[in-house]
Structure 1
Amino acid sequence: MTLHRMIPAKRLLALLVSAGMALTLGACSSDTDTSTSGTDASAAASQTGNVAIFTPSDGITISQQTPMSKWAKLVPEIVTSLKRQGVKGGDISVKSASSLEKQSQSVQDYVVDHVNDTDASASKDGKTTLIVAPVAQADESDRQYGDYAGHALDWNDDSADGDEREYARSAQRLVSALQLARNSGMKVVLVSNTLKGYVPDVYAPMSTAEQIGRTQARELVNKLALDKASSDNPKHIEVLLPLDESDDDSTADETFVKSVFAGIWKVLGPYFKDGKAVSPSGTLTASSTDDDWEAVAFDSSKDGQAKKTLATRLGMDSDSTDHTRIDGIIACNDYIAGQVADGLDDLGYTGSSADVNPSITISGIVGNITGKKDLRKQAVPDPSKAPSDDNSDDGGKTGDDGSDDDEQNARWPIVTGYGAYAGIMPNIVNGKQWMTAVENRKKLAGDIATVCVKLNASEKISGLGFIRSATMEGKRIPTIHEKILAVSAGNLKKTLIEPGYISLADAGL
């Protein structure tokens, strides 16, 4: 084994014995190291101990639009909360890495250094907790959901492919380093992504792909009042499932995409089966299952493909004069939702999501956000049967309210997304997009910090209100639980503006 640098035999022995495998030791490899201490673990520590944070570098999307879920936002909030709870700035270190290889080397170096310094130190009062968010393999369509969307890190130990073999080695190195940390008395809080074969002391899950799909579908069902719909007058719904087909090897992406659709279909499937929902394009039917995700997937790596796909689904790619009725569109993330809104504009759809089963007007939405009195409307229930298709004297079609049939069909649908992109907030306010969703980042940061302080003080965490129990690798472990924030115009002020996630200017006000 060739070592990139010489290390004491005692440290190497500790690593090999505790981890159970030989690891290739590299030079310090984190892309950024913003350790606030400048001292090592042998320094006297307070009861709050040491906390080392290892996260991925922020992902960059081709669109350059920014989801709210960025590591660069979460980490400072964890650090602030740690300090607020008594952890000294000098006992907190932060490291980010752009790849699993670099992150695993960084974690390994920190752990081995800590083990060696602790062995050599007369004082062992300063306990240490590692916060680790493993770097996942994510392509462009994955990154459109933000940095926190959870992935299960899996790998083939016997892979012959060069890149996959290196990925497997990096993953195994990270697992071994974390096992050494646990064996040496350190605690580990795993964030967002999971590692095959490893069970942490505490797990802090972020949004899973299935949760992302399920949340949007539920919001759509509620807004469209699908429970009150009938097979004689069903709601017309399309699902646009983004898939990055620019890479020949898209297995990891397909796993995530399949799970997003599974979450959607778990909620929408029964309505399609009962005839209360239909797909104008026929891509989804009463007999569709989770395995039919490819029917609604499209190549999102191509610029403007979402708009083209929408026009094709609605049968308006060659003629946009006659509108196809569409009541709801699940766009999966805010980047696609923005393209959908532009596409609906181009096709001549009018109005806003606020007009569908309205509970508040656009003026009321703005008034609510700016602190003025709400202006509310009563929802008008849909008829149990669809409007008559009988031709009127002038050759047109009329609906139950006397409006032209095409005018009804051209009404703006419910559009859902995910990620709380800063650039789409005005669309939430003006009703072009009904809802988005995002992790409760500030709460999660506070929860993670509290757990670290408790672990370093050898105190129980089971009594904390946000702790649940979950199974990982066949074992029950404490899990931090915070609900995803579903955001619409009605709660935008309370959910995002008042907590400081966005400003009035971000909302276009």
Structure 2
Amino acid sequence: MGFAQRSVTVITAIAASCAMALSLTACTSDTAEQTVTGKDQTTVTSDSVGTVALFTPSDGITLNQQTPLNKWAKLTPELTSALTDYGFKKKNVSHTTSDSLDKQSRAIQDYVVDHLSGKNKSDDSGITIEPENMTLLVAPVVQADDSTRQYGDYVSQELNTDQDVSEGSANADDTDGKSNDSSSANNSDSDTSDSDAEATDKSNSAGAGSSEDSNDSADPDQTQAVQRLVSSLKLAQESGMHVVLLANSIEGYKPDAFVQFSDARTIGHLQAEKLAAKLELDKASKDNPKHIEVLLPYTPTDRSDANVDDTFAEEAFQGIWQVLGAYYQKGVVVSPSGTLDGTSTQKDWLNVAYDASKNDATAKELDSRLETDDVDSTPTRIDGVIAMNDYVASEVVKELDQLGYTGSAADINPQITIAGIVGNIAGKKDLQREQVPDPIKSPENDDTNDAHGSKTDDDASAKAKDSQWPLVTGYGAYISSIPSVVNGKQWMTGIENRDALASDIAEMCGKLNTGENISSLSAVKNTEVGGVKKVPTLNEPVLAVGASNLKATLIDPGYITLADAGL
């Protein structure tokens, strides 16, 4: 009897112990670690990957309500989805938009102060998330002129400050004696002459001097907003939070990481590079050169007649010249208007720039570039037009039609038809458009004519060549321009690889919040950002989009629908 009672007591004790163990396990199931900081104090952190606070500019309004795909409103939901897929809880991902730097700097200041003071502590299932498990994703609001906004919302620019050069900046003493890392793959060596490669000074013209004038009249409210933003971000870092800047850098400020989007040089370089490959400029000759015009839109003054910083236009031309400069100098590429020639350098960006703020500016500029002396003559031969962005490209397409050019980019290869392009987009077949090889000499320069009057045929061929529709490039993937890409009137556009960027940013945030090294990411390398050296920078190549790959780059990822493409 006594033995039975003792057995029951033992069994009851074991059951109670198991229940207590299960209870403790349940209470600590969401706990990753427990650090003793004092006799009666502990700091508990969640086993989740922490929190992310996203701060972006409000989407801008493009001219004529045309909508590019490079918009914050397009990227933000994809980024939120990527963060939750990585392991972030949806309630731990917040997003704030601001239409000015003043409002954005105040929002970031409030977020940081509130979390550090305990007024708005991040909480995950009742467990406080410490600052070390928080990342701020900040895309600083940068003032942009009308022409710059045509490239989309997240073209990388630099937010200027009035502060002295900080430690670690490019202008500080370089104690390790090593050269700076390149901030972009587009800064690679080119075939341009040594004098062009060394040319880094701005043009001495009145247009280039406008940036200095604009700096002299700095807005005190803007300066205060910049200082507030930098102070808030530094406070966040000092408390243990991580700061990742998106698209726009801040002069003299070092974030924990930077996400590089397309900048002016990248956009110019992309279009020139694709055009050079398509026209096979390496096979062109002086006797049969290619005819290319560069249209560089910029805004010399803002709506209050104050001078505007023209750095964007200048750097865009540098990207173009890095590719095309050597061809112009060799004489295998010519400008029908004479704006660029063999003596031009990367400093001559003003030769191809025009005030895009005026009514019908692009049409008038192109008309003057391709003007003919004889009213009854055929159009001026033009093989390619670098239009820089899709808004300008749409204006170019309209004017080319008015000037009498016929066909489309698909005519470069007569075997490819518009029906074939549509079939490719519908997934029926692959499409590879290649240019029909040009003769070494143009018909008018070819003396090898037979005795049966083939000269007349050559003249007809030359006239047909003159009126052939050129390759027109753009950037921004405007939805309104996609049908023109499909029918070949606009040969190509460009867009950020949003899916890849969203996935990379989510992984970067997860690694930062859990103390892992982000240098292990394949898309991350150290670069100079805002004048500061050795900043981990994430960069994904820009996608060049044409009719041949439109399905794979835009339709399959869900960026656009068949209806958007005009199908």
Query: TM-score category by the smaller chain?
Result: 0.7 to 0.9
Match of 1:282, as an amino acid?
A: G
Moved more, 383-392 or 81-90: 383-392
Aligned to 1:406: 463
- Give, in whole Å, the separation in 1 of the partners of 2:430 and 2:112: 55
1:399 to partner: Cα distance: 5.7
Match of 1:68, as an amino acid?
A: L
1:396 to partner: Cα distance: 12
CA contact (8 A) 2:354 2:365 kept: yes
1:278 to 334, 344, 347: 334
- Cα 1:319–1:56, aligned 2, differ >3 Å: closer, same or farther? farther
CA contact (8 A) 1:434 1:488 kept: yes
Residues 1:238 and 2:313 are matched in the alignment: no
Aligned to 1:106: 107
* Superposition pairs of residues 476-487 of structure 1, within 5 angstroms: 476-487=534-545
What secondary structure sits across from 1:490 in the alignment? coil
1:356 to 374, 390, 412: 412
What secondary structure sits across from 2:63 in the alignment? coil
- Give, in whole Å, the separation in 1 of the partners of 2:215 and 2:564: 48
1:319 to partner: Cα distance: 3.7
For 1:64-116, what per-residue CA distance to the aligned partner results, in whole angstroms no more than 9, with x for missing partners? 11110111111111111111122122211110111111111111111111111
1:184 to 231, 236, 239: 239
- Cα 1:52–1:386, aligned 2, differ >3 Å: closer, same or farther? same
1:249 to partner: Cα distance: 2.8
Match of 1:479, as an amino acid?
A: T
Residues 1:295 and 2:296 are matched in the alignment: no
- Give, in whole Å, the separation in 2 of the partners of 1:501 and 1:102: 30
Aligned to 2:566: 508
- Give, in whole Å, the separation in 1 of the partners of 2:434 and 2:229: 56
What secondary structure sits across from 2:379 in the alignment? coil
Match of 2:160, as an amino acid?
A: D
- The size of the alignment, in residue pairs, is 465
CA contact (8 A) 1:428 1:488 kept: yes
CA contact (8 A) 1:130 1:186 kept: yes
Match of 1:424, as an amino acid?
A: S
Moved more, 357-366 or 294-303: 357-366
Aligned to 1:34: none
1:360 to partner: Cα distance: 4.0
CA contact (8 A) 2:496 2:541 kept: yes
What secondary structure sits across from 1:462 in the alignment? helix
Aligned to 2:555: 497
1:471 to 528, 553, 565: 528
Residues 1:132 and 2:133 are matched in the alignment: no
Which entry has the higher C-alpha Rg, 1 or 2?
2
TM-score (norm 2): 0.77
For 1:360-381, what per-residue CA distance to the aligned partner results, in whole angstroms no more than 9, with x for missing partners? 4322211111122346676421
Aligned to 1:79: 80
For 1:108-131, what per-residue CA distance to the aligned partner results, in whole angstroms no more than 9, with x for missing partners? 111111111189999554621000
**Between the two proteins, what is the percent identity of the paired residues?**
52
TM-score (norm 1): 0.85
What secondary structure sits across from 1:63 in the alignment? helix
Moved more, 140-149 or 367-376: 367-376
1:163 to partner: Cα distance: 5.5
Aligned to 2:319: 263
Aligned to 1:115: 116
Moved more, 42-51 or 344-353: 42-51
Match of 1:422, as an amino acid?
A: I
1:397 to partner: Cα distance: 7.4
What secondary structure sits across from 2:254 in the alignment? coil
For 1:283-329, what per-residue CA distance to the aligned partner results, in whole angstroms no more than 9, with x for missing partners? 01111112111111111112321111111100149947531000100
- Give, in whole Å, the separation in 2 of the partners of 1:309 and 1:319: 18
Residues 1:451 and 2:508 are matched in the alignment: yes
1:275 to partner: Cα distance: 0.4
Structure 1: runs of 5 or more not aligned: 1-41
* Superposition pairs of residues 32-431 of structure 1, within 5 angstroms: 46-117=47-118, 123=128, 125=130, 127-156=133-162, 164-247=219-302, 248-252=305-309, 254-316=310-372, 319=375, 321-356=377-412, 360-374=416-430, 379-388=435-444, 398=456, 400=458, 403-431=460-488
- Cα 1:324–1:463, aligned 2, differ >3 Å: closer, same or farther? same
What secondary structure sits across from 2:518 in the alignment? coil
1:246 to partner: Cα distance: 4.8
Aligned to 1:488: 546
- Give, in whole Å, the separation in 1 of the partners of 2:100 and 2:314: 24
